[in-house]
Structures are given as C-alpha cells and as structure tokens.
Amino acid sequence: MSPSAAPLQGFPAKATIIEVGPRDGLQSEPRWVPTEEKVALVNGLIGAGLRHFEATSFVSPRAVPQMRDAADVLSGIDRQNGVELTALVPNAKGAERAIEAGIDAMVVFMSASESHNRKNVNRSREDSLAGFAEICRMGEAAGKPVYGAIATSFGCPFEGDVPVSAVVDIARRYRDMGITTISLGDTTGMATPPLVQERCRGLRAAVPDIDITLHFHNTRGVGLVCVYAGLMEGVTRYESSIGGLGGCPFAPKATGNICTEDLVYMLDECGVETGVDLSRLIPTARRIETAVGHPLPGQLMKAGPRLELHPMDAVATANG
Amino acid sequence: MSPSAAPLQGFPAKATIIEVGPRDGLQSEPRWVPTEEKVALVNGLIGAGLRHFEATSFVSPRAVPQMRDAADVLSGIDRQNGVELTALVPNAKGAERAIEAGIDAMVVFMSASESHNRKNVNRSREDSLAGFAEICRMGEAAGKPVYGAIATSFGCPFEGDVPVSAVVDIARRYRDMGITTISLGDTTGMATPPLVQERCRGLRAAVPDIDITLHFHNTRGVGLVCVYAGLMEGVTRYESSIGGLGGCPFAPKATGNICTEDLVYMLDECGVETGVDLSRLIPTARRIETAVGHPLPGQLMKAGPRLELHPMDAVATANG
C-alpha cells in the first residue's frame, strides 16, 4: 500500500517539483554558503531526480549578498539529463546578467498587492509590469522563456486579504506579454484550501492557456494541505525547498517554504509520480542543515522513511 | 473569505476536537509539570472553547511518572459547560481508580499489530481484549461509557504496513463489547491519505454503527493532510495536542501529535465549525511551551493569526 500504485481519485498522475531552496531558501540565510556548497546542493538534488530549479537570482548583490555568486553557481551545476535552471530577474540589468550566465529561463516577479510590491521592489505594480515588457523582449531575442511569479497571491502581510481579481488581472497582463507559466506565491503563508480552489478556478476561467505553478509556505502548518487542494484542482507544478530551507521575514521562528522531501513523500504516498527518489533526498536535506548551521523544519529528515523498521528492543514505547 | 463561511464541498459542517495534550502530549515530557500547571492548561483550553479532553491516564506511576497525579488533575478541572474528561485505563485497577476519581468516560487501548501491543503493554492482543471485557462491565456498572483506541492503525514501527483487516477485526471486537466510539491512532506518524480513505471505508462497511475518531501524528509532515482526507470521508472527530506537545519515541527530534491550534486554523479556514476560539488558543500554547521548557512544533503560535497585519516599516521583505 506504500507508495500507492495509482493516484488518488481526482489527482493528476504526475507532478513536477520546482526546487527553490537554492534561491528562496538560501537567500534568507545570514551565514554565507560557499559557492561550492550551493553547487553541490543542486547537483545532489539532480542525483535524486529533481530536474527543475530556481537556482539563484540576479538581484543586487548589496540587497541580497547570499546571491552574489549567481553566475558561478550556474556554471558549476551539472546540466545534463534535461535539467532546467531558472533565476529571478528584477530588471533589465538582471536579465542581461542572467542571459550572459546561460540561464534556461528567467522569472519576473511582482506582488498582487500594491503595498507589498512597493515594499519589496520599491515601485508600483504598473511600473513593475512596464519593466517586464522589456525583459520579455530580451528573453525573446535570446531564445529564453520568461516565467511570471505573483507574490502575495493568497494574502498580504500589510493589506490582509487579496482579492482574486488582483491575481487574475496580473496573470492576464503576463499572458499578454507572452508569459504562459505563472507561479502563485504564498509569500507569508496565508494560503488556505478555499483560496487555492478559488484562485486556481479564477485563473482557469480567465487565462485557460497558462500553466499554473503553486508556491506554498508552511508558515501556518497547512502548506501540504494547500498542495493537496491544488492537486484536487488538477495543478501539476509545485515549488518547494529542500529541508524546508528558508524562513518568514515577519516571524523569526516561523517556517517558510514547504519542504521538498515531505512533499515528495506525500506525492509518493498518494500515487502521484515525481521522478524523485526520496531516499536520496533525505541525505541531501541533512547535509544542507549542516551547511546552514541550524535545524531545518523538514519532518522526514528527522523521522526517516515510513517503512524503516525499528528493532523491538531499541526504545521504550508509550501507550496511545 | 477568511474564515470561510460555508464548509468546503464534501466536508462536514462541524467537527469535534478532542484535546490529548494533557495525556499523550505531557506523558513524554521528561520535566515534571506541576499539577496546578496541568489543571491551568486544561482550564485555559476550556476557556478557549474546547470541551473534550483526554485528560490523563490511570497507568502505573512507575511506568509513566508524569501521570502520577491523575486524580488530582481531574479534581482541579472546571467541569461546567458540558466538558467531557476521559482517561486511558490499561486494566481493571486503572478503571477502578478512574471511576473513583470521577472520570466521564474511560479509554481502553491496544495496538493493531501484535508486536507493538506486546512491546507497549506486555501482552498479546487477545489478552488485551479479554481484559477490556472486564473494564466494560465495570464501566456499565458505574454508568461510565468506554471508548476504544487502536494504536498502530496506519502502520507499525516493528512490522511496517498493518492490514486494514487487523483494524477492522479489533473494531468489531470493541463493538461486540458495547464500545461505539473508536479512535484510530497513528502512533508513529505512518498515516497517509490513501490509508485514511481505506481504513475509514473499511470501518464504515464492517461496523457502520460506530463513531470514528482519527488521531494523527505529524511525524512525517502530513498530519493535517490526513485530517483533510478524513474530512472528505465525513469523519467529524479528531484528536490533537495543544502546541503539538508530545514527541515520537523512535526519533528524538521528530514531532508527535498534530497541533490543536493549527488544526483549528485549518478547520476555521475550511468552514468547519469547532466552537473553539483560535485567538484564545494561541496564548495557551505559548504558556505550555514555557512550562515544558523547550520549543513546540506548532506553527500558528510562532506565525500568529493569518490576518494579523504588519506595519510596512517593520521588516525587510525578500522578493518571492
């Protein structure tokens, strides 16, 4: 019965996992992670079967020092076997650097809420969109696809609830620029199953030709529940972070991204194929925990595989 | 949109939460929690709207020293407002003590797997069942209902997969003794959504007259996903532990019981009524974290409520 041979009723047969630990995870780590360690992390994950990575970001090295080695990280990764490396690009300068470094696809990003966009990138949403048009032209000229991310898609830490229309409007603008892969970011862990339903259905109705990617945080404990809700909507693309690397800027002790190995475990058990070998993910998660020097929130790396048997004389059990 | 006004499609309109932190949570805490603190914990949770508690266990004080004040804990709890206090009773002696202490209902427990039952209570499953018959007679004489728990219902740390027939067979034997409220325990965090479906459907087919209670651990990160799967099966009773109090005997750093406030958050957001006030649960979770002297795994107690707004000048945000 484990892992399940057929997908749960209503679930897709396969899902694609986009590993964002090297970018969304590491960027909030105060301790410098050496370039070789970043490269070894991604190469280890490729060895476990992952193929899609948000590998770095071409932002200002002053703003995000941890990403200052973006080009070197890209050049160190073993890109055989259909590996796709993407990077965040905030502006034309970043896009230029990303293309020069040989990125496979660029990710532009803005927030669904005006105040978060201003706080995050210091400009209005309209100004963000205007800038993306230029990046799309650069991408087209270089033969590099551009993907679009929408932060605060499920709620904003400054404004609270975010109307579905704000997300749909940005998705339409993205689509009009030729962006057909769109990620909904749960920036501070405000996504819930009803919001997942509502937003997925809203996008399907308004821009049926786009691929939806869901990016959840486990900040309030329901990250994988939101994936479950997304699977029931037929969404096949999920972003996650090895070990649950990354945090929440609003609550120092809270968790950020959902954890890749816990996600793979859930998908395996629900019969959704990922191509990832869970047993090879766990050691990589433990290694990155050592590299960052503090405990990570991933559960499987602590508990071990489901069917790892224990000797009867090993521990005292407790009733219940 | 938050909390949701109507339950998600297919979900029950209401759910009952049985708080097991005072028993399943505290029993694994090495540091003695004073009786007054235990009582204050339960009374605080009653103040937040919880009404059902596995309050303690009448086991040997030598085996579980943390539970040695079982009778005193019961006598300190404010039992107005329809509060129901249950306790684990391993044998006739425990039942006698529980009845004497004025328990509302007794919980007998055994494992679905033979090796775990032997390891946990040092007897065969058949011997466990034989002993429960006597407890049921005592309960009937005293006018106290008896509930039945089945540990390792979703897998056994010694044997691996547990066949659904093992769970169903025990449920039938319980039902034949007059036990109509049966809890499936996910003792070491091996439950998955397909197993939840299979076991709930198996019980519904074989013993349709019983009330199913689900007791999940978050040891592998999917505890609330399993609740979600249970809700889709129409199950309305869930056991959880405030703050996620309690651990896993097989992995010192792994988590145990699902967390009550995270569960209430999910149910609130999915439109399932619990009668519990989340804003009053969070301070209680933080208080018990102080009492046990180490961080607890609950997420909401760290992140705060979903719609708690943050001032724009408070923090640096990070793109994505």
Chain B contacts of A312, Cβ < 8 Å?
115, 119, 158
CB B182 within 8 A of CB B203: yes
- The residues facing B95 across adjacent strands are none
Per the domain annotation, does A202 fall within a domain? yes
Per-residue pLDDT tens digits for B53-81 = 999 999 999 989 999 999 999 999 999 88
Question: Which alpha helices (DSSP H) does chain A contain, by range?
Answer: 35-47, 70-76, 92-100, 114-121, 125-142, 164-176, 193-206, 223-232, 260-269, 278-292, 300-303
Whether residue B316 has pLDDT greater than 60: no
Per the domain annotation, does A6 fall within a domain? no
Stated length of chain A: 320
- The residues facing A87 across adjacent strands are A56, A106
**Residue B149: in which H helix or E strand, if any?**
strand B146-151
What local confidence, expressed as pLDDT, does residue B315 receive? Answer: 57
All residues at 6 or more sequence positions from B291 whose CB lies less than 8 Å from its CB, including other chains: B33, B37, B41
Q: Using the beta-carbon criterion (under 8 Å), do B320 and A28 form an inter-chain contact?
A: no
Give how many domains chain B has, as a whole number: 1
Catalytic residue among A136, A156, A200, A248: A248
Chain B contacts of A90, Cβ < 8 Å?
319
Chain B contacts of A300, Cβ < 8 Å?
220-221
All residues at 6 or more sequence positions from A197 whose CB lies less than 8 Å from its CB, including other chains: A229, A232, A233, B8
Per the domain annotation, does B165 fall within a domain? yes
**DSSP per-residue string spanning B63-99:** T-GGGTTHHHHHHHS---TT-EEEEE--SHHHHHHHH
Sign of CA dihedral A8, A11, A14, A17: negative
- Mean pLDDT over each residue of chain B, to the nearest integer: 94
What local confidence, expressed as pLDDT, does residue B3 receive? Answer: 61
Phi and psi based region of residue B189 (left: phi greater than 0; alpha: psi -120 to 50; beta: remaining): left
All residues at 6 or more sequence positions from A199 whose CB lies less than 8 Å from its CB, including other chains: A153, A154, A164, A167, A184
Structural domain boundaries enclosing B99: 16-303
Question: In angstroms, rounded to a whole number, what is the distance separating the alpha carbons of residues A65 and A70?
Answer: 10
Per the domain annotation, does B11 fall within a domain? no
Neighbours of B78 (CB within 10 A): 11
Question: In angstroms, rounded to a whole number, what is the distance separating the alpha carbons of residues A99 and B6?
Answer: 48
Whether residue B319 has pLDDT greater than 80: no
Q: Using the beta-carbon criterion (under 8 Å), do B220 and A303 form an inter-chain contact?
A: yes
Chain B contacts of A59, Cβ < 8 Å?
319
Average pLDDT of each block of 10 consecutive residues along chain A (320 residues)?
A: 75 98 92 94 96 95 92 95 96 97 97 96 97 97 98 97 98 97 96 98 98 97 98 98 90 90 98 97 94 93 92 61
Nearest CA in chain B to A109: B320
Closest partner CB to B309 (pick from A109, A158, A310): A158
Q: Using the beta-carbon criterion (under 8 Å), do A221 and B224 form an inter-chain contact?
A: yes
pLDDT band at B94 (very low <50, low <70, confident <90, very high): very high
Q: What is the DSSP letter of B244?
A: G
Q: Using the beta-carbon criterion (under 8 Å), do A1 and B310 form an inter-chain contact?
A: no
Nearest CA in chain A to B27: A318
**Residue B108: in which H helix or E strand, if any?**
strand B105-111
SS3 content of chain B, % helix, strand, coil (to 5): 40, 20, 40
Inter-chain Cβ pairs, chain A and chain B, closer than 8 A: 232
What local confidence, expressed as pLDDT, does residue A81 receive? Answer: 87
Question: In angstroms, rounded to a whole number, what is the distance separating the alpha carbons of residues A40 and A31?
Answer: 17
Between residues 190 and 219 of chain A, which touch chain B (CB distance below 8 Å)? Answer: 190, 192-195, 197-198, 215, 218-219
Q: Tokens for A24?
A: 């969304």
CA distance A209 to chain B (A): 23
Stated length of chain B: 320
What local confidence, expressed as pLDDT, does residue A254 receive? Answer: 85
B283: Cα within 13 Å, side-chain hemisphere: 8
Domain CATH for B70: 3.20.20.70
Q: Using the beta-carbon criterion (under 8 Å), do B220 and A265 form an inter-chain contact?
A: yes
Whether residue B314 has pLDDT greater than 80: no
Taking every pair of C-alpha atoms in chain B, what is the biggest distance, in angstroms?
66
pLDDT band at B5 (very low <50, low <70, confident <90, very high): confident
Neighbours of B93 (CB within 10 A): 12
B303 touching A (Cβ < 8 Å): yes
Question: In angstroms, rounded to a whole number, what is the distance separating the alpha carbons of residues B210 and B172?
Answer: 10
Per the domain annotation, does B154 fall within a domain? yes
- Catalytic site residue A248? yes
Per-residue pLDDT tens digits for B190-232 = 999 999 999 999 999 999 999 999 999 999 999 999 999 999 9
CB B297 within 8 A of CB B244: yes
A141 touching B (Cβ < 8 Å): no
Question: In angstroms, rounded to a whole number, what is the distance separating the alpha carbons of residues B197 and B175?
Answer: 21
Range scoring the smallest mean pLDDT among A123-132, B10-19, B141-150, B245-254? B245-254
Share of chain B above pLDDT 90, in %: 89
Per the domain annotation, does B315 fall within a domain? no
What local confidence, expressed as pLDDT, does residue B252 receive? Answer: 80
Interface test with A, best of B217, B220, B250, B270 (most A CBs within 10 A): B220
All residues at 6 or more sequence positions from B48 whose CB lies less than 8 Å from its CB, including other chains: B276, B277, B280, B281, B284
Whether residue B43 has pLDDT greater than 60: yes
What backbone phi and psi angles, to 5 degrees, belong to B265? -55, -50
Chain A contacts of B197, Cβ < 8 Å?
8
Q: Tokens for B197?
A: 């479906």
CB B131 within 8 A of CB B109: no
Nearest CA in chain B to A247: B318
Range scoring the smallest mean pLDDT among A195-209, B81-95, B142-156, B241-255? B241-255
Chain B contacts of A27, Cβ < 8 Å?
318, 320
CB B135 within 8 A of CB B89: yes
Question: In angstroms, rounded to a whole number, what is the distance separating the alpha carbons of residues B119 and A317?
Answer: 7
Sign of CA dihedral A51, A53, A258, A185: negative
- Single-letter residue type at A316: A
CB B84 within 8 A of CB B74: no
Q: Using the beta-carbon criterion (under 8 Å), do A192 and B149 form an inter-chain contact?
A: no
**DSSP per-residue string spanning A232-276:** HTT--EEEEBGGG--EETTEEEEE-BPBHHHHHHHHHHTT-B---
- Cα–Cα nearest to A144, from A74, A208, A205, A46: A74
Per the domain annotation, does B9 fall within a domain? no
C-alpha of A167 from chain center: 18
**Residue A105: in which H helix or E strand, if any?**
strand A105-111
**Mean pLDDT of all residues in B161-177:** 98
Whether residue B271 has pLDDT greater than 50: yes
What local confidence, expressed as pLDDT, does residue A316 receive? Answer: 52
Question: In angstroms, rounded to a whole number, what is the distance separating the alpha carbons of residues B283 and B33?
Answer: 18
Q: Tokens for B306?
A: 């979903």
Question: In angstroms, rounded to a whole number, what is the distance separating the alpha carbons of residues A306 and B108?
Answer: 26
Catalytic residue among B136, B226, B248, B259: B248
Per the domain annotation, does B198 fall within a domain? yes
**Residue A108: in which H helix or E strand, if any?**
strand A105-111
Closest partner CB to A225 (pick from B88, B187, B224): B224
